[in-house]
Structure 1
């Protein structure tokens, strides 16, 4: 018989597991948040579908207004005059006076719509030209690739391309002589400059620029204030070739040369745009009107002696 006082006897108790209070609270909180999230998503989807189904259509008056803006014609004289007024009042030393702005603006308003405008130089008036040629095609050419990229980034509506000029202002006489010697070959007055090796021709613009029939061309660049500056010889020569090489549209092209009192502008204007085409040359703006020429033409001006 075992001794009841034996200390080796052990008592084992069995009871169900009860989780800790902290874990239980976290589980209930997670469940509650999940329920709220599902309820919110269901409410959001239902509300969005209800709004979409019951939202009224755009009123006819608003729809007509949007259509009118998208298909608007030329700017009214009041708007044009307002733009010219404030542009000419700028404190910028290099801005154009009202008389020059008005002269170019009048040419844009008279050309067929939409009007094709090519501008050499990104200047104080860049946004003005874009605005005045409303609904038309406006392209800017500048020698500073970084500034052209900056303008396009800041104003995405502006089409600006950079060009690497290889000319020097001090070489003007030699470049003019070379162009006249090559008048029957690389420097023809009627040609596609994309395929030309003429020293004065600009041949590295985007291909589509050479295919456009430009109605108005403004030469307001590049720089030419010192001997090693590019000068505007190439821009003026290229403007003359583009104007004479039109394939369609209006046979006439208005070519404006800013800073017309400068030596390069006057000399190259006389050589490649021609005195007989000069409509107005008073003040600081030269205005030429060039006509489309036959592709077999080998003379820039009527009164020039043809070089051999």
Structure 2
């Protein structure tokens, strides 16, 4: 009779099998942990988004004015407001104020301009605040010959952006300056150029750099003084307006240039010379309205058919 001990079976597990079972459990644990964290992250993010959205809606309800401030700033002025501004500005007791007819003409040009409109004005005058208001939502820059008056206006009206320029011309030199510009039409007095680097006697080159980079939609020439032979006259302002319009880089390719006091010799002669009679679209006793288009950089003629360099 055999002993029961002979029937005992010994079962040994190979170490590799034990190690593999442990590894599988670790991978399973890592996988469960990953999905748990992902779920919690999604839940937290969704909750924050819902809270933020709700807060925005509450703010919009409680303060609708602030939410629409940006949109309102770019909206054009209502016609009733424009008409009221023109009415009261033209009824001023100031001797040098513009007539209702002339202000209306300029206002109509600004209203047709796409918003925002870039308006450059030569001269700080009785209508300065009016131009700023009528170009609501746009960019308006003023240039004046009197640095002290420009500083005074900016101090009194911080919303006005004004710069002074030192004119070196005299009205008595007008014909000489025109002849010099014609002689240098392929050099320093080119119709298309960056005037910041120009040595043309009629070009204004001492304004802040950014003024030369703006694509001006409307340029109003109502300064500097032109009341005597030693006054600077508006030769440089008109020449500069013509170059800025033809050198326009972006936006609408057309620029409206408006000359005030168009009945005077300087304004009429220089306007016809550098803005060109063929570009004049309307005129009154006091206003000359020209529309210029940007031209090729190799154009070397202000008026007529533009000849390009060979």
TM-score, normalised with respect to structure 2:
0.78
**1:67-146 superposed matches below 5 A:** 67-72=67-72, 73-146=75-148
1:63 aligns with 2:53: no
Q: Deviations along 1:132-175, whole A, 9 cap, x unmatched?
A: 10110000000000000000000011000000000000000000
TM-aligned CA deviation for residue 223 of structure 1 = 0.1
TM-score, normalised with respect to structure 1:
0.78
Residue 285 of structure 2 aligns with which residue? 283
Residue 273 of structure 2 aligns with which residue? 271
- Given that 2:300 and 2:306 are in contact with CA atoms closer than 8 Å, whether structure 1 keeps it comes out as no
CA distance in 1 between partners of 2:60 and 2:294 (Å): 46
TM-aligned CA deviation for residue 303 of structure 1 = 6.2
TM-aligned CA deviation for residue 205 of structure 1 = 0.2
- More helix by percentage: 2
Gaps of 5+ in 2: 1-56
What is the alpha-carbon root mean square deviation over aligned residues?
Answer: 1.8
Q: Deviations along 1:49-82, whole A, 9 cap, x unmatched?
A: xxxxxxxx99745622233344211111111111
CA distance in 1 between partners of 2:109 and 2:184 (Å): 32
TM-aligned CA deviation for residue 283 of structure 1 = 1.3
CA distance in 1 between partners of 2:84 and 2:64 (Å): 26
Gaps of 5+ in 1: 1-56
CA distance in 2 between partners of 1:234 and 1:111 (Å): 25
Q: Deviations along 1:252-291, whole A, 9 cap, x unmatched?
A: 0000000000000000000000011001122100000000
Moved more, 198-207 or 62-71: 62-71
TM-aligned CA deviation for residue 296 of structure 1 = 0.2
CA distance in 2 between partners of 1:198 and 1:241 (Å): 11
Segments ≥4 residues shifted beyond 3 Å:
57-62, 303-306
Cα–Cα, structure 1 residues 69 and 233, in superposed 2: closer, same or farther, change >3 Å? Answer: same
CA distance in 1 between partners of 2:84 and 2:71 (Å): 22
